[in-house]
Amino acid sequence: MAKKLDLKIESMEPGKLQGQLIATAKSKKATVMFDVIKDLVPLSEGDRIVIEVLEEKPKSLDKYVFCGHGYKVPSEKSGVDILSVWGILFVFEPQIELEPDKKYYVCISKREQRRRSRKKAS
C-alpha cells in the first residue's frame, strides 16, 4: 500500500505549543491536517506539496522536507485516519485504509510552483 496525495496548503494556524502550527492541506478529493514545527519543517501557506504514505522507508530521503515513521492511532471521528509520527499527528480525510499496528512512513515533498506566463502589452 502506497498512497500519494497532491495537495495545497490552504492555512497554517498557531497550535497550542510554542513554535507549532497546524497546517490544512487540500485537494479536490482529500484534506490532510498535520502539525508543523516551523523551525524544523520549511512549509508555508500556499505551498504545493506531495504527501506520501509508504510501508517501506524510501531509498533516498533527499527530495523530502520531512520524512518520519509512525503508526495509526484510534479515532473517535468516523471517516478519518490518524497517523502519529513521533507525536506529530497527520489526520487524513477521507480514510486512506491504514492498518492498526503497522509501521508507515509519511514523507512530504514540495512541488515546483507553476509560473503563469504574462503577455507583454504591445
Mind listing the pLDDT tens digit for each residue in 65-96? 999 999 999 888 889 999 999 889 999 999 99
Dihedral of alpha carbons 99, 53, 67, 85, sign:
negative
C-alpha cell at 75: 479515532
Mind listing the pLDDT tens digit for each residue in 96-121? 999 998 999 999 999 876 655 555 55
Complete domains list, the chain, with CATH? 3-110 (2.40.50.140)
Q: What totals of helices (H) and strands (E) does the chain contain, helices first?
A: 0, 8
Cα separation, 39 vs 74, in Å, equals 29
Q: Beta-strand (E) ranges in the chain?
A: 3-14, 20-26, 31-37, 48-54, 66-73, 81-85, 88-93, 103-110
